[in-house]
Amino acid sequence: MNRPPTILCIDDEELGLLVRKAVLERAGYHVLTAAEGKQGLELFDNNSIDGVVLDYSMPGMNGMEIARIMRNRKPHVPILLHSAYVGLPPEAIALASHTLTKGSGPADLLRSVEQLVGHGGKH
């Protein structure tokens, strides 16, 4: 039996992180979460990650810095940059495989993650 795709979600907003985890797990994904960049990079390095949902604006390392490190370490892993900001810097957009504005509903998140990793969930 194939393992479900593993998605790493990194966001400093605990409630949003828990909601995304629940939505993705209900759709059949295995989800790892981190509340900050350093922890997220440790999970990224030590697990087989199929896709990353990464918040752009966080204290410490922002999403662009984290995405740059991830691209250097495992360039094949797709990254969804998830942000409340509509006008992300072009450098950040260039590092992401896909972007999604926060406030989009669960269906938009699922659709974006499905495009990211090519997994149709449990539909």
**Summary mean pLDDT of the chain:** 89
- The pTM (predicted TM-score) of the whole model is 0.91
C-alpha span between 64 and 104 (Å, rounded): 20
Residue 94 confidence (pLDDT): 83
31-82: per-residue pLDDT in tens?
A: 999 999 999 999 999 999 999 999 988 888 888 999 999 999 999 999 999 8
Looking at 3.40.50.2300, 3.40.640.10, 3.40.190.290, 3.20.20.110, the CATH number of the domain 6-117 comes to 3.40.50.2300
Tell me which of 118 and 48 has the higher pLDDT: 48
C-alpha span between 37 and 65 (Å, rounded): 9
Least confident of 7-11, 32-36, 48-52, 97-101: 97-101
Domain positions in the chain are: 6-117
Q: How far is CA 42 from CA 32, 85, 114, in A?
A: 11, 26, 24
Show the tokens assigned to 39. Answer: 């922890």
Residue 21 confidence (pLDDT): 96
Question: What is the residue-wise DSSP string for 53-113?
Answer: EEES--SSS-HHHHHHHHHHH-TTS-EEEEES-SS--HHHHHH-SEEEEBTB-HHHHHHHH
Share of the chain above pLDDT 70, in %: 94
User: Does the structure show a pLDDT above 80 at 1?
Assistant: no
Cβ neighbors of 16 (< 8 A, separation 6 or more) are 55, 102
Q: How confident is the model at residue 119 (pLDDT cuts 50, 70, 90)?
A: low
